[in-house]
Structure 1
């Protein structure tokens, strides 16, 4: 990126952040908006050899009326016709404002009490990292935190990512997204 484009981007982002001071936002120590993720966030399987760690996420300035949070990670560029759900966490208590690196690991039980993970498109109820086909170019990964108007989403056992997404969006007050990138 040319220096003038970088400066324009920095000035634009600073202005946008200043204008939205106090609005619901998500940040991360591990990933950045518009930047490529590291190998530690790549899936381990299907030909991918990453560490399969969910990134650290924090959020602030939840809107009034927030009773819980949900987090989703979605790749709209997956060659499936419907994208790819990498992670969905529901029923995060309204008092929680961060998830640590690796919180999506099913074996570590590192989510806040009451939170639940939905089965992703890998067939795992946990985080499944990026694993785009080799040579398919950069894929976009939308890490979104939703402030919800209900304390608990009631989903049937084995609910699909589409159903979970529907219920999350039907109860969303506000959301904030980091769009990270990955390619192999």
Structure 2
């Protein structure tokens, strides 16, 4: 079943410009289909991510995964990981598991599916190709100033004012 609609723009093109820095992954290749591990019905495992070159003044990181192609007006948030310490520059595969031990004071907020964890790709069967943006946001404060009950929209609102730079990697998936 395809839900006819236009392709959403890259959501990060619509935000205030920031510096960019590098992100790599052993699990996600830029613009390529996600591995089964990152699919909800297969592995449902957050990918390995590494980043470098964050802007001067970075004091913490927030990591998100967003699907702008979900058939909703607001897309779908698959992962929101907040307050990673500035000396953390990588996450192993599976760091987004519910109850995972995270560095420093880091914590996860609920994804749009409900859990405080990573939720793998799960577009409607037969729908168009979906894009999954894995973004590391360099934050200029030790804490973003939210708690684990904050919605992804509230986290994003705070990021709009506190982000010094973004590292963006996106994969795709079609069911």
Instruction: Output the TM-score relative to the length of structure 2.
Output: 0.86
Q: Deviations over 1:99-145 (max 9, x none)?
A: 000000013x2321211101110001110110000000210000000
| Of 92, 116, 125, the match for 1:125 | 116
Please show how residues 16-165 of structure 1 align to structure 2 within 5 Å.
Answer: 24-43=21-40, 49-107=41-99, 109-165=100-156
Give 4+ residue runs of structure 1 displaced > 4 Å after superposition: none
8 Å contact 1:99–1:111 — kept in the other structure?
no
Structure with more relative contact order (C-alpha pairs < 8 Å, separation 6 or more): 2
User: How far off its partner does 1:156 sit?
Assistant: 4.4
CA distance in 1, matches of 2:64, 2:27: 16
Q: Deviations over 1:21-46 (max 9, x none)?
A: xx621110100111000111111xxx
Task: Say whether 1:177 aligns with 2:154.
Answer: no
8 Å contact 1:25–1:59 — kept in the other structure?
yes
Give the number of equivalent residue pairs.
156
CA distance in 2, matches of 1:89, 1:169: 16
Q: Report what 1:168 is aligned to.
A: 159
CA distance in 1, matches of 2:104, 2:139: 17
> Over aligned residues, Cα RMSD in angstroms?
1.1
Unpaired stretches in structure 1, ≥5 consecutive residues: 1-22, 44-48
CA distance in 2, matches of 1:157, 1:40: 25
CA distance in 2, matches of 1:79, 1:147: 29
Instruction: Output the TM-score relative to the length of structure 1.
Output: 0.82
The range that moved more, 129-138 or 147-156, is 147-156
CA distance in 1, matches of 2:147, 2:59: 20
Please show how residues 4-23 of structure 1 align to structure 2 within 5 Å.
Answer: none
